[in-house]
Structure 1
Amino acid sequence: MKRRLWEFLFVIEKNILFSSVKKGFMLTIPVLLIGTLAVLVNSIVLPLLGDGFVLSTAISDVCVMLYNASIGCVSFYLALAVGYCYAQARDVNNVLLRLMSVLTGLICFVILIGGITSDGGYMGVTGVLPAIVVELMAVTTFLFIIDVYSHHHKDLDMGVDDNIKITTVSILPTLLTILGCLIIQYVAVNLFHIGDLTETLTNFFRMIFSDSTHGLFNGMLFTCFVNLLWMFGIHGGNVMDAISEELLVPLVADPNAIVSKSFLDVFAQIGGSGATICLLLALLIASRSKNTRNIARSSAILILFNINELMVFGLPIIFNPIMMIPFVTVPLVSLVIAYVATLVGFIPVVTEVINWTTPIFYSGYLATGSIAGIVVQLVILICGTLIYLPFVKILDTFQEEKELRLLQALIDDFRANEANGIYEPMLRRTDGTGQLARTIAKQLRMDVEQDKVELFYQPQMNAEDCIIGAEALLRWEYQGQRLYPPFVVALAREEGFLDKLTLQTIQTICNTINDVTEQVGAPLHIAVNVVADQLDDIAFVEEVIAIAYRTATSRYLHLELTEETSLGGFDNISANIRQLQTNGIVVAIDDFGMGQTSIIYLREHSFKYVKIDGSLVKNLLDNPRCTQIITSIIDLGQNLNYQVVAEYVESLAIKQKLMSLGCHVFQGYYYSPALPKEEFLRYSNDHMKL
C-alpha cells in the first residue's frame, strides 16, 4: 500500500503540469510575503499605534498599494511563472519563443476573466485556479500550433535573423490561440450565460445551503467547502463570502446560535484556512526536512495573525494530496470541539465580532470573555497538531524518498556521461536534479571548510603480496548516502573549490604517510588524483610542494593525473611536472588506455608509472582485445621506462594473467577494498615486507 502511494505521488511529481505549477507557486513566494507583511502592518501594527499616530494614514495607504501590487495581482504573476516553467519543461530552449508562449497565455487569461477591472477582479487570489488552467492550456495550444506550423515551413528560417524568425513564426500561433479563447469566452457568456467563476460557485453553494437549517451542519459544510476550495487553488474565503454574509454573519448577534462567523474565525480557522497554526506546530515538532522547517519558521509570525498564504503557497498545501486530508479534517474537528464546549456550557455563545487577524488565545479570551475560551483553543491546538503529525511524517518520508530518487538519477546521468567521455554541468540544471546538485554542493563546501571529508586507502601490492603503497579515495556521505567519488569531485570542481578539497586531501595523506612510518616502521607511498588544470596551476603546484616539504613526505607523495582531460592547451603543465619531480613528488597517469590521453603525452611528459584503466582489467579474462591492449601498454612501459599498475584486480586469476603479461603491481578487491585509516594501518602492518 505504501509503495503504491509513493508511486502515485511520484507520478504526480514527474508530471510536467503539476511540477510546473509547484515551481510557479515557489517563484511567487516573495510576492506573497510582501503582501502578507502589508496586511500585517495594516491590520495589526497600525491599530496598536492608535489614531493619534501621525503617519497612520500614509502608512495604511502604502500598505494597501503594496497589497494590491502583490497579492492583489498574484494570479497574474502566477500565470507568468507557471507558464514559463511549463514552457521550459516542454524543452522550449529558445528563450524568446518561451516568452512568446507565456505572453500568449497571459493575454488569454485576461480575455477569459473578462478583462482587468478597477477592483483587480481575478488578478488576486480569487483567480489562482483560472490563471493556472488558462495559462497551461494556452501555452500548450501555442506550442502545438508552433510545431505544426514549423513542420510545414521548414525553409522559413533560411538566412533569417533568429529574433525575426521567432517573431514571424509566433504571429499565427498567437493569433489562433487568442482567437480560440475569444470564442470560448463569447460562447460561455452569450450562449450558456456563465458568469465568472466566483459567482457561479457562489450560486451553487446557495442552492446547497438553502435547504439546510441546522447550525452545526451548516458550519461543518461551510468549513469543509472553504478548505476544499483552497486545496485546488481557489480562495475559499472569497468564494464563500456571500454565503457567510447571508448565513453566518447575522448569527453573531443571536444569543441562541452557536455557529456564527466569529465563532468559526475564533475556533475553526485558527491560523487561517486549514487551522494552519496546528500544521505549523506539527512541522516544527516533527519535520526532518530543512526546507520545510524553514518555510514553517518564515510563516510563523504571519500564521499567529491568521495570515497563512506563505504556508499555503510555499509548502505548498495547494495541489498537495498528502496534506488534503488534515487540511480539511482539522478545522472540522476544531469546530466540533468548540461546538460541544459551547453546548455543555463550558464557554458562552460567541456574540462578539472578533477581527479575523486577532491572534490565538487572545481571540479566545475576547470572544468568550473568560479563560475558558483560551482553554478550548489550547485543546484545539493540541488535537489539530496531533492530527497533522502523522501526515507531516508521511510528507517527510515522501520528500526523502523523492530526494533519493533524484540523487540516483543525478548520479546515473553523471556516470553515463562519464562513460561516454562527456561532462554536462549539473549546478545549472533547472529541474529537481539541478536543485539537489546545488544543495549537495553547498553541503560539500561546508564539510570541506570544516575538514569533514573522510579518506579511505586502498592498498597497492607487489607480486609477493606485500604492500608497497596505497591510493587515497574520497568517502563522503550526503544524508547518510555515500556518494560516487568522481561525482563528488565533479561537483567540487564545478562549484569552484576543488583545489581546496584536493590540498586538504594532500595534507591528510601526508599526515597518514608519517603515521604509517611511525606505526609500521617503514614508509609507504600514497597516491591521490588530480586534474590537468590543477597541474597547470603554478600556485597549486607550489602549495603541494610546500605541504610535502613541511611534512617531509615528498618521496612518498604520488599525484595521479586523471585521464578525463586532455593535456593539450596547458602552458605550464610540463614545467610543473618537472618541478614536482625535482622535489621528489611522483606524477603518474590514472585510467590509461581508454580516455583522452594519447601515447604522444608519454613522450612529452615524464611519468613514473601509468595505471591501466579498470574496465580493461575487469574484462581481461573474457575479452581478447583487452588482453592485447594491456599487453601493448606493458610493452610500451618497458620501452619508455615507466611502471604499469593494474587496478580492479578482483581475483587470483586476473592477478596471474597480469603477471604473465609482465605487470607486477596490483590494486583491487582481491587484496582489499578501500579502508578507513585505522584499518589501513593494521592492514599495512600485517602485509609489510620486513
Structure 2
Amino acid sequence: MIAARNTLERAFLIAIKESFIALLPFIVVNSLLALVLAIVDVWQPSWQQSDRYLWLSQFGQILFNFFPLMALLSLSFHFSKYLELSAVAVASVSIGSLIALHIDSHQQMAMTQGFSFLFGDARAIILPILVAYLLRFFMGIKAINFLKSTQLSSYLKLHLNLLFPLITCFIAVTMVMYASSFLLGQLFESFKLALESSGLFSQLIVRVISTHVLWCFGVHGDIAYMLVLGIDNGLQQIAPNLTLSQFTDLFVLLGGSGATHSLLIAIFIASKDRNMLNVAKLSLPFVLFNINEILIYGLPIIFNLRLILPFIIVPVVNTLAGYLLVSAGWITFSGNEFPWIMPILLNGFVAGGSMAIPLLQLLLIAVGVAIYLPFVRHYSLQGKGDNFDKDLIKRIQLQIDIDKIAERNYTLRQSEDLQTNVALEKTIKEVLNGELLLYYQPKVSLVSRCVVGYEALLRLKTATGAVVGPYFIPDFDQAGYGNLIDSFVINRLAKDMRQWADEAFHPRVSLNLNPNSVVDKATQDLLVERLGDYAQSIDIELLESAFISDLQSVEQSMVNLRAYGFSFVIDDFGTGYSSISLLSKIKIDGIKLDRSILENIKHEKGRILYRHTCMLCKSLGFHLVAEGVETIEEEIFVRSAGIDTVQGWLYAKALPRQDAKHFAILQDKLSERQLAGTKKGAEAP
C-alpha cells in the first residue's frame, strides 16, 4: 500500500515536471515576444503605430492566451502516460468539462463568440490532473467495465470499456469544479470587500502572497489577481514619488515573481541537478529583463512542494524589509519613471538617483539566496537519490524511455560507451522498429502429461514480421537498460494474467529477472503493484550469479517478495557459477537444470553427474525442472533421474498467450483420453 502510494506521488511529480518542460519552446517564444515588444515600448515608442508592431503584438497576445489550452493538452498526455490512461480520453473529458462550466442555462451562448473561454480559464491547468486521477479510479471499478468478451481485440475492448468511466468522470469533475468555483467566488467576494476596507500595507501583503500562490498553481499571478478580485491598486502611492507597482519592481520581485535573481544565484551555487541548471541557463537572458516564466514553468515551480515555500517566502521578506525602510523615510525617490523590464540595480539608480536603492537591492538578493539555498540543495539531493526508473517503467514506450534512461546514463558516465558503440545503436534501432512480445513455453508433467506451468520468454517481432529471440538483452544490460526489459516483462505478464483470469484460466508462470533488478527497490515495488494479486502463481527465476555477487541483498529482496507470495527458482543451474555450497545457504523453492549438462549425457560421466545432481537437489527439498528436453531419449533419461517436470522443444516452443492456453487445454484432453484408455484396457478381460 505504501509502495503504491509512493509510486503515485512520484508519478505526480514527474508528470508535472515533464508537462511544463514539454511546453518550454512555447514559453520561450512567448517570453521572447514579450521582451521584444517591451523593449520597443521603452526605447522606440514611435514604432507602436507601425503595421509590424501591431501584427507582432496581436500575435503575441493570442499566443499567450493559448497557454492554458496548451497546458491542458500537455498535462493530459503526461498524466495519462504515468497513470496508464488514454491521453485522448483525459483531454476530451477535461475540455468537455471546461465547456460545460461556461454554459449558462439561462442564456443562449452565441456561437459567434467562438471558444475563446478555453484560452483564458485557469481551471484548464487543474482539470486534466483531476480528470486523470478520477478516471483511473473509475476504471478500476470492475462493475462498470462491462465488456469481457475474448472475441474483441484488447485495444478495442479497452476503449469501449472507457464509456461508463468517462461519463461518470465527466459528471463528477464538472460537479466538483462547478461547486468549488461557486464557493470560491462567494469567498473571494467577501474577501474583496474586507480587503478594500483594509490599509495599504495589508493590501500589499495580500497581493504579494496571493499572486505568488496563484503562480504555484500555474496561473499568471498578477493577471489572475486583478481578474478574480477586480483590484488594481498598482498606481496607489506608497511613499512620495513611489507607486505600489514601482515598489514591487524595485524591492519585491527582483527579476520576476519569486525574486528570480535570488533563485538563479542559489541554483548556480548549490544545484547538482542537470535539468535545473539547464533551465536556469536558458532563462538567464530573460530574467535580466524581469521575465521569468521559463524558470517558473521549466523547473517547475508549479505544484512543486520542494520549491513553493521559498518562492512565496522570499517576496514576502522583501516586501516587509522594503516597506519598513520606505515607511521609515530612510530611502527617498526622485520620481523618475522606469519600465518594468529595466534590469534591477539600474532601475534602482534611476528611481532614487543614488546608489542607496541598488545597495538595498543587492542586500535583499543576498537574503533571498540564503533562503533559497537549503531548498535548492534538498531538491538536488532528492533528484540525485531518486530512481527515475520507478516511474518510467510503469508504461514501457521504448523510444521515450530510452531517451530518459540515456539522460540518466550520461549522469553515470555511461553515455560515452553508448555513443561509440555502433552495434548497440543498431540493436536499439532494430528493437524500436519492431515490437516486443511475451511468449510462454509450457512446462509439462511427465506423470500426467498435462501442462503444469509456463516460462515467460521475451520475443521481438521485427519490422519484417519475423519473431526472433531476445538477442538484444546483453547489449541492453551493458547500456544500463536492463530494468526497462524487466519492467516490460512484468507489465505485459500482469496484463496477460488478468486476461487469463477473466477467461477462468489460472496458470503458474515463471519469469526471468536481471540479477541487478532483483535488489532494486523500484523493481520490487513494480512486482508487488502489478503482479501482487497473482503472486501465489508466480515463480521468479534467478541466475546463480545473482547470489554470488550479493547474497545478503538478494536474500533480503527474496524475503520482502516472499511475504507477498512470490516463489523463487534458480535458473540455468549447472552453468558457470554452480556451487554446491550455495544450495545449503539460500532459501529457494526449485531448481531448473540447464540443457548444457543434459547434452553431456552421451558420456558416462555426464550421465552420472546429471543423476547425482538430481539426487542431491531432491534430497535438499528442491522441486526440479529439466530444461531443453528435445528428444525422446532425453525424456527417458531425465525421467529415470527422478525428474517429473520438463520443458523443451520436444513438447512445445514458446507460444503466444492464446496459443499457450490452447496447448494446455489440448494436453489436458489428451491426458484424459490416455487415462480413459488405460482404465478401459485394465477392465478388459
Given the two structures, how large is their TM-score scaled by the length of structure 1? 0.56
Q: Deviation of residue 285 (structure 1)?
A: 2.0
Give the 5 Å matches for 1:72-91: 72-91=65-84
Pick 1 or 2: higher relative contact order, CA cutoff 8 A, min separation 6.
2
Structure 1 residues 329 and 255: CA distance shift in structure 2, 3 A: closer
Structure-2 residue corresponding to 1:23: 18
Contact 1:326 1:387 in 2 (8 A): yes
Instruction: Determine if the alignment matches structure 1 residue 112 to structure 2 residue 101.
Output: yes
In structure 1, the residue matched to 2:39 is 44
- Alignment match, 1:102: 91
Q: Which amino acid aligns with 1:68?
A: I
Specify the code of the residue in structure 2 equivalent to 1:110: I
5 Å matches for 1:411-426? Answer: none
Superposition deviation, residue 622 in structure 1 = 6.3
* Displacement after TM superposition at 1:298 (Å): 0.7
> Which of 402, 409, 414 is matched with 1:444 structurally?
414
Equivalent position of 1:674 in the other structure: none
Note the C-alpha offset of 1:262: 1.4
* Superposed CA offset, 1:278-322 (max 9, x none): 101111122122211000001111112221111111111122222
Give the aligned partner of residue 619 of structure 1. Answer: 582
Q: 1:336 matched to which residue of 2?
A: 320
Number of the residue aligned with 2:383:
399
RMSD between aligned residues: 4.8
CA distance in 2, matches of 1:379, 1:174: 54
Tell me, yes or no, if the aligned pair for 2:571 and 2:592 is still in contact at 8 Å: no
CA–CA distance in 2 between the matches of 1:492 and 1:169?
Answer: 34
Among 109, 119, 123, the alignment partner of 2:119 is: 123
Alpha-carbon distance in structure 2 between the residues aligned to 1:276 and 1:183: 38
Residue matched to 1:420? none
State the alpha-carbon separation in 2 of the partners of residues 628 and 103 from structure 1.
Answer: 53
- Separation of aligned partners in 2, 1:631 and 1:166: 43
Q: Is residue 300 of structure 2 the alignment partner of residue 316 of structure 1? A: yes
The Cα offsets for residues 436-495 of structure 1, whole Å up to 9 and x where unpaired, read as 4543168423256689xxxxxxxxxxxxxxxxxxxxxxxxxxxxxxxx998751548999
In structure 2, the CA distance between the partners of 1:167 and 1:255, relative to structure 1 (3 Å rule), is: closer
Kindly indicate whether residue 107 of structure 2 is the aligned counterpart of residue 138 of structure 1.
Answer: no
- Provide, for residues 507-541 of structure 1, a one-character-per-residue CA deviation record: whole Å limited to 9, x for no partner: xxxxxxxxxxxxxxxxxxxxxxxxxxxxxxxxxxx
Partner Cα separation in structure 2 for residue 350 and residue 244 of structure 1: 32
In the TM superposition, what is the alpha-carbon distance from 1:25 to its structure 2 partner? Answer: 2.3
Q: Which amino acid aligns with 1:440?
A: N
Letter in 1 for 2:127: V
Residue 152 of structure 1: how far off its partner (Å) = 5.6
CA distance in 2, matches of 1:178, 1:631: 59
Secondary structure of the corresponding residue to residue 613 of structure 1: coil
8 Å CA contact 2:418–2:479 kept in 1: the answer is no
- Secondary structure, in 3 states, of the residue corresponding to 2:74? helix
Q: For 1:388 and 1:205, locate their aligned partners in 2 and report how far apart those are by CA, in whole Å.
A: 31
- Sort the Cα spacing of 1:394 and 1:137 in 2 relative to 1 into closer, same or farther, 3 A: closer
SS at match of 1:619: helix
Q: Please tell me whether residue 65 in structure 1 is matched to residue 94 in structure 2.
A: no
Task: Tell me, in whole angstroms, the C-alpha distance in 2 between the residues paired with 1:336 and 1:299.
Answer: 27
Partner of 1:588: none
| Deviation of the 1:337 alpha carbon | 3.1
Structure 2 vs 1, CA of residues 162 and 294 (structure 1 numbering), >3 Å: closer, same or farther? closer
Report the CA distance between 1:275 and its aligned residue. Answer: 0.8
Q: How far did 1:113 drift?
A: 4.6
Preserved CA contact (<8 Å) 2:40 2:47: no
Q: Deviations over 1:47-96 (max 9, x none)?
A: 43452599x53144234324422x3122212222222222322323xxxx
Q: Counterpart of 1:154 in 2: which secondary structure?
A: coil
Q: For residue 376 of structure 1, what is the aligned residue in structure 2?
A: 360
TM-aligned CA distance change 1:337 to 1:120, over 3 Å: farther
Residue 219 of structure 2 corresponds to 234
Q: 2:373 — aligned with what?
A: 389
Residue pair 2:405, 2:481 contacting (<8 A) in 1 also:
no
> Aligned letter for 1:123?
F
- Distance between the aligned counterparts of 2:396 and 2:140, measured in 1? 29
Match of 1:275 in 2: 259
In the alignment, the residues of structure 1 paired with residue 177 and residue 375 of structure 2 have an alpha-carbon distance, to the nearest angstrom, of 41
Q: Give the SS at the match of 1:355.
A: coil
CA contact 1:445–1:492 (8 Å) conserved in 2: no
**Distance in structure 2 (CA, Å) of the matches to 1:246 and 1:630:** 80
Helix, strand or coil for the counterpart of 2:340? coil
Matched residue, 1:285:
269
- Asked if 1:248 is matched to 2:267, the reply is no
Taking a change above 3 Å as real, the CA distance of residues 61 and 266 of structure 1, as seen in their structure-2 partners, is: farther
CA shift, 1:626, in A, is 7.8
Unaligned runs of 5+ in 2: 104-108, 422-472, 485-542, 546-569, 610-685
Following the alignment from structure 1 to structure 2, what is the Cα–Cα distance between the partners of residues 168 and 620? 51
Residue 636 to residue 106, structure 1, CA distance change in 2 (3 Å): same
Confirm or deny: 8 A CA contact 2:331 2:357 kept in the other structure. Answer: yes
User: Structure 1 residues 99, 268: closer, same or farther in 2, change over 3 A?
Assistant: same
CA shift digits 1:180-210 (9 cap, x unpaired): 5666677789xxxx39x6x667534423423
Instruction: Calculate the TM-score normalised by the size of structure 2.
Output: 0.56
Identity fraction in percent: 20
Q: How much has 1:137 moved relative to structure 2?
A: 3.4
What residue in structure 2 maps to residue 305 of structure 1? Answer: 289
Change in Cα spacing, 1:296 to 1:594, as seen in structure 2 (3 Å) is same
State whether residues 425 and 494 of structure 1, in contact with CA within 8 Å, keep that contact through their aligned partners in structure 2.
no
- Paired residues of 2:71 and 2:124 also in contact (CA < 8 A): yes
SS in 1 for 2:84: coil
Report the CA distance between 1:627 and its aligned residue.
Answer: 13
Match of 1:207 in 2: 193
Displacement after TM superposition at 1:628 (Å): 9.2
CA distance in 1, matches of 2:220, 2:48: 34
Structure 1 residue 173, shift from structure 2 partner: 4.9
Q: Secondary structure at the match of 1:137?
A: helix
Aligned-pair CA distance for 1:428: 4.0
In the alignment of these two chains, the number of paired residues is 462
Q: Which amino acid aligns with 2:52?
A: A
Q: Take 1:35 and 1:627, find their aligned partners in 2: how far apart are those partners?
A: 62
Residue 481 (structure 1) aligns with: none
Deviations along 1:152-198, whole A, 9 cap, x unmatched?
A: 633567357955x6665555554555455666677789xxxx39x6x
For residue 46 of structure 2, give the secondary structure of its aligned residue in structure 1: coil
1:489 aligns with 2:478: yes
What secondary structure sits across from 1:357 in the alignment?
coil
Amino acid across the alignment from 2:332:
P
For 2:375 and 2:298, the matched residues in 1 are separated by: 17
Change (3 A) 1:634 1:285: same
Relative distance call for 1:200 and 1:313 in structure 2 (3 A) is farther
Q: Which moved further from structure 2: 628-637 or 32-41?
A: 628-637
Distance 1:368 1:119, change over 3 A: farther
- Counterparts in 2 of 1:278 and 1:615: CA distance versus 1, 3 Å: farther
Deviations 1:598-625 (A, max 9, x none): xxxxxxxxxxxxx933255563566999
